[in-house]
Amino acid sequence: MGEKVLDVRDLRVWFPVRRGLIETITGRARLYVRAVDGVSFDIRRRETFCFVGESGCGKTTTGKALLRLVPITGGSALFRPSKEVAEELEKRGVTIDEDGMVDIFKLNEKQFHPVRRDIQMVYQDPFGSLNPRFRVRDILEEPLIVHKIGETKSERLEMVSRALEMVKLTPVSEFIDRYPHQLSGGQRQRVAIARAIIMNPVLVVADEPVSMLDVSIRAEILEVFNLLKERLGLSFIYITHDLSTARYVCDRIAVMYLGKIVEIGEADDVIQEPLHPYTEALVAAIPEPDPRNRLKFRDIKIKGEVPSPVNIPPGCRFHPRCILYEEAIKRGEEWAKLCTKAEPPLVEVKKGHYAACFRHEAVRAAVTAKAAGGS
């Protein structure tokens, strides 16, 4: 892993809730879906960084924010553009800091356009994401034309072939003239990946790239990601609700809950020694192909279901579902009183392993220090 390529601080994406007539007349305060509610993380070169969490916790919205596909409510995202894109940006009057980074949330639409070369997205649905009337060669050539890359048709064809080789759709001649319906699900997803990497991006955001594929071919795609990371030095954001696939591709994992990151760490640490009760529940919930589990009840220490992101609970947003908190309160433990009073910040609890939960002394200390400093 190398230098930082992305450094996101306090990203917020709030969607206004459509108001009914009554709310408008009575002038009730505007409500928001706080899809992403203060998220900070960084990504290094040659790193696969994973977001996991239940449906609706804000994973996709975080990914889309980096491509500016959703309106950004707040926060910053320092990004290290490639040489070509950096030149383009400077031509458009953007200054790049001495560290080679630029805040992509501060760019206007015209300035952002070249950044789209450097940050690519792969979607969940390999069936819907490819134009059915285009052949593989056209699908891959299109972004080159849009971004004016490659002088001649034959130069572009050369790039198309190289991208197909990278995702191991070989022999290239066998695949290049096919239409999407003539490809299997795994092959289609490889074409989608080839399209994402053809412009030699810095970062690829892959949103549930294998969840619609059959188990028998998932590993095919996971292997392609690992290969590209090594060979091209790409960085990936891998979005999934499935911790077990994350384990095979990710260097680090961020666990999201209701728009916030509650834990970040090395993949193995997060899975084997989770620090946040929510992560513990996620890990405990995952079934395995082992019939010895049969008829053993799974002990998942979590109550109820995810509340609406319009009404985020005060204090720790996980507290209404947290059994650790509930038990600590019953036992009269002092620390647990913080859970409903303050929002636990994400603090480094062990080396390189961060958690936002007051069960850890370091997290409590961070809050009391802040309170002392503030008063």
Partner 1 sequence: MPLLEVTDLRTYYYTLRGVVRAVDGVSFTLDRGETLGIAGESGCGKSTLAWSILRLVPPPGRIVGGSIKIDGMDITKMSEAELRRKVRWRKVSMIFQGAMNAFNPVLKVGDQVIEPLLLHTDMTREEAWAKAEEMVQHVGLPPEILERYPHELSGGQKQRLVIAMAILLEPDIVIADEPTTALDVVIQAQILNLMKRLYREKKMSIILITHDLSVIAELAEKTAIMYAGKIVEYGPSDAVFENPLHPYTQALLKAVPRLRGPKERLIYIPGSPPDLRNPPRGCRFYPRCEKRFEPCDREEPPMVEAEKGHFVACWLYARR
Ligand X SMILES: Nc1ncnc2c1ncn2[C@@H]1O[C@H](COP(=O)(O)OP(=O)(O)OP(=O)(O)O)[C@@H](O)[C@H]1O
Q: Is 37 helix (H, G, I), strand (E, B) or coil?
A: strand
List C-alpha distances in Å: 350 to 110, 274, 333, 370.
43, 11, 23, 20
**Of positions 69, 146, 286, 369, contacts partner 1 by CB under 8 A:** 286
* Residue 336 tokens, joined: 């647990």
Q: Where does this chain bind ligand X (CB under 6 A)?
A: 15, 33, 35, 53, 55-61, 241, 309
252 near ligand SF4, judged by CB under 6 A: no
Q: Residues 58 to 77: which contact Mg ion by CB under 5 A?
A: 60
302 near partner 1, judged by CB under 8 A: yes
Taking Cα atoms as reference points, which of 252, 279, 281 lies closest to residue 268? 252
Cis peptide upstream of residue 320 (ω within 30 degrees of 0)? no
322 near ligand SF4, judged by CB under 6 A: yes
Q: Tell me the HSE value of 62 on the side-chain side, using a 13 A CA sphere.
A: 36
CB of 134 to partner 1, least distance (A): 21
CB of 309 to ligand X, least distance (A): 4
Q: Residues 49 to 108: which contact ligand SF4 by CB under 6 A?
A: none
How is 191-218 classified by DSSP, letter by letter?
Answer: HHHHHHHTT--SEEEEESTTTTS-HHHH
CB of 52 to partner 1, least distance (A): 9
244 near partner 1, judged by CB under 8 A: yes
Q: How many whole angstroms separate alpha carbon 99 and alpha carbon 89?
A: 15
CB of 161 to partner 1, least distance (A): 21
Taking Cα atoms as reference points, which of 185, 178, 84, 195 lies closest to residue 133? 178
- Strands ordered across the beta sheet of 102-103: 32-44, 4-16, 74-79, 102-103
* Residue 70 tokens, joined: 């959703």
CB of 245 to partner 1, least distance (A): 5
- How big is the chain by its Cα radius of gyration, in Å? 23
CB of 206 to ligand X, least distance (A): 12
Gap between the terminal Cα atoms of the chain: 41
Contact 135, 157 (CB under 8 A): no
Contact characters 264-283, partner 1, x per CB under 8 A: -------x---------xxx
CB of 69 to Mg ion, least distance (A): 12
Residue 218 binding partner per list partner 1, Mg ion, ligand SF4, none, with a CB distance cut-off of 5 to 8 Å that depends on partner kind: partner 1
325 near ligand SF4, judged by CB under 6 A: yes
How is 18-33 classified by DSSP, letter by letter?
Answer: PPPHHHHHHTPPP-EE
Residue 297 binding partner per list partner 1, ligand SF4, ligand X, none, with a CB distance cut-off of 5 to 8 Å that depends on partner kind: partner 1
Residue 214 binding partner per list partner 1, ligand SF4, Mg ion, none, with a CB distance cut-off of 5 to 8 Å that depends on partner kind: partner 1
CB of 174 to partner 1, least distance (A): 13
Q: Which range binds ligand SF4 by CB under 6 A, 14-22, 51-59, 165-173, 356-364? A: 356-364
Contact characters 184-223, partner 1, x per CB under 8 A: xxx---------------------------xxxxxxx-xx
Q: How many whole angstroms separate alpha carbon 220 and alpha carbon 141?
A: 24
DSSP designation for 58: S
Go through the chain and tell me how many residues it has: 375
Residues found near partner 1 in the complex (CB under 8 A): 54-55, 184-186, 214-220, 222-223, 241-245, 247-248, 271, 281-295, 297-298, 300, 302, 305-306
Residues found near ligand SF4 in the complex (CB under 6 A): 277, 316, 318-319, 322, 324-325, 339, 344, 357-359
